[in-house]
Structure formats: C-alpha cells, structure tokens
Amino acid sequence: MSDQIFQAMRQSIIDGTPDKATELAREAVAIGLDPLEAVNLGFAAGIKFAGDQFGCGEMFLPDLLASAEAMKAAIKILEPEMLKRGSERETLGKIVLGTARGDIHDIGKNLVATILSASGFQIFDLGTSVTPEQFVAKAREVDADIVGISALLTTTMAGQKAVIDALDRSGLRPRVKAIIGGAAVTSKWAAEIGADGFSRNAIDALELARNLMGKGPASA
Ligand code: B1M
C-alpha cells in the first residue's frame, strides 16, 4: 500500500499536477502516514527526477515549474501535520533563514524551516533572494543564535560566503553561528567559506542546529 502511494506521489510531481499531489497528501494525512516519509519517499523523489530530466534536456522549464507547483501544493497540506507532531517540544533557539541573493529556489529551504520549527526552533524566514545586509539586520533585530543560508545554484553559492563575511564584519559572529545547505553545497565549500556547518537535508539540518546549540541528538 505504502509503495503504491509513494509511487503515485512521485508521479504527481513528475506530471506537474497540483490537484493530484494535494489529493495524495490529504490521503497520507488521513491514513496517518508520517508526513516526512511522504515527502522524502514520495514527493521529493518526483522533484529530483524532474530536476534530473531538466538537467539533461529531457524536460523544459514550464514543465519543471509545474512540478515545483505540485510539490508546493503537497507540502502545503503536509506542513501543518509536521508542525503538529512537533508542537509539544521545548524552544531550542532562534534561527534566521533565507535563500541567498539571486536564488529563488525555496522548496528545500521551506522544508528545513518546517522541520526546525516543528522541532522547537523559532524560525524567522526571510524568503528568497535575500541580501547579506538583510540577513545581518534580521539576526541583530531578533538576537538570533543561528543564521541559515540556502543556495541551489552554483552561481548563488557565492552569496552564502557574502552573508558569512557580512556577519563577521558586523561583529555578530562568532556568537551567531552560520550554517549552509542546498543541492550543490559540500563540506569542502562549507570549510572554505568558514561556515559553522552544512547539511545535506532537513533532518541533518536539525541535528546540526541542535549540536550548535549544545543539545544532544533529537529523540525521534
Ligand atoms: Co532550478 N535548478 N532553476 N528551479 N531546480 C536546479 C537547482 C538544477 C540543479 C536543475 C538542473 O539543471 N538539473 C539547476 C542548477 C544548476 C547549478 O547551478 N548547478 C537549476 C537551474 C539551472 C535553474 C534556473 C537557472 C533555470 C532557468 O531559468 N534556466 C532557474 C534559476 C532561478 C533562480 O533561482 N534565479 C531555476 C528555476 C527553478 C524553478 C522556479 C522552476 C523551480 C524552483 C521552485 C521553487 O523552489 N519555488 C526549480 C526547481 C524545482 C529545481 C530542482 C528540480 C529541484 C529543487 C528542489 O526543490 N528540490 C533542482 C534540481 C535538483 O535539486 N535536483 C533545480 C527538492 C528539495 C526538497 O530539495 O532544494 O535540495 P533541496 O533541499 C534539500 C537539501 O538541499 C537541504 O535540505 C533540503 C530538504 O531536505 N537544504 C538545506 C536546502 N537548503 C538548506 C539549507 C540548510 C540546510 C540544508 O541550512 C541553512
């Protein structure tokens, strides 16, 4: 049963059908499926496939946009469920989050925000194409513990470095930690730009943030 629904979820994203994706997300909630599993094993597998097809010229931009819309529709249904599951937890710290300047990809960043929020962090999401000055100003305003910068394009990864440099210049670091992530980001890049950490996915981002706040691993 689960395999079938995961396969249907994946296909709804590849086909770029928000209505179908919404229907399947609602079904997942109704049958009590773990919302994160629905994302990871179902919908995200579809967007990854669509991205690979786009990368090798087998899919065009309008189709990729439709896939992204379907992905967002599914997450919109699953998000309250993820938050509900984490609502009883303690407050762990304040995180300012955004996508680097010039980059409008936000599906992964939103997922990171949802997981961190559901696990007890207070999230200040600045959205997409955020400048270093905006990151610094928000971190100062809310007295952030962590600033998280997402970047999906190799060209916008430089924006992650620009934010870290700006945090250094502002004097907020080293007290405020800087973490990065996104499909093309590697540990080598994180070390090169002096980030306090990087993670490959939303779950690892949670472990990373907990570690930086001096908390142990999350209990499931
Ligand atoms: Co774009 N795109 N895209 N795209 N897109 C990629 C990134 C690409 C790899 C596709 C490809 O060619 N195969 C390629 C980048 C190539 C490169 O630079 N290396 C690409 C390109 C080229 C482009 C455009 C330039 C295309 C064009 O216009 N010609 C354009 C750029 C626009 C811009 O930003 N200025 C563009 C546009 C778009 C859409 C608008 C169509 C849409 C985005 C919709 C949206 O986000 N609102 C889109 C999409 C959907 C993708 C792919 C297919 C999927 C991204 C995604 O949502 N993945 C992507 C291919 C791919 O990644 N395989 C691609 C699902 C998501 C759950 O995963 O985002 O990786 P991800 O997030 C993960 C982890 O990375 C990590 O945790 C998340 C959850 O587990 N993570 C963090 C992310 N941020 C983190 C931050 C952290 C920690 C972990 O701490 C702070």
Distance 121 CA to ligand 1 centre (A): 24
Of 105, 145, 200, 207, the one to substitute when testing ligand 1's pocket (max ligand atoms within 8 A of C-beta) is: 105
10-residue stretch averages of pLDDT, the chain, 220 residues long: 89 96 96 89 89 88 90 91 69 94 95 84 96 98 97 97 98 97 95 96 89 72
Instruction: Give the CA radius of gyration of the chain.
Output: 17
Predicted local distance difference test score (pLDDT) of residue 176: 97
Does the C-beta of 100 come closer than 6 Å to ligand 1?
Answer: no
Distance 181 CA to ligand 1 centre (A): 11
Domains along the chain with CATH numbers: 2-87 (1.10.1240.10), 93-212 (3.40.50.280)
Does the C-beta of 111 come closer than 6 Å to ligand 1?
Answer: yes
Helix pair 132-142, 157-170: axis angle to 10 deg: 50
Predicted local distance difference test score (pLDDT) of residue 87: 57
By C-alpha distance, which of 55, 33, 51, 52 is closest to 42?
33
By C-alpha distance, which of 60, 68, 8 is closest to 38?
8
Q: How many residues does the chain have?
A: 220
Predicted local distance difference test score (pLDDT) of residue 124: 96
Q: Which helix (H) or strand (E) holds 125?
A: strand 121-125
Distance 212 CA to ligand 1 centre (A): 26
By C-alpha distance, which of 21, 140, 149, 146 is closest to 75?
21
Which tokens hold the place of 81? 């469920």
Nearest CA to ligand 1 atom 41: 65
Strand partners, 122: 94
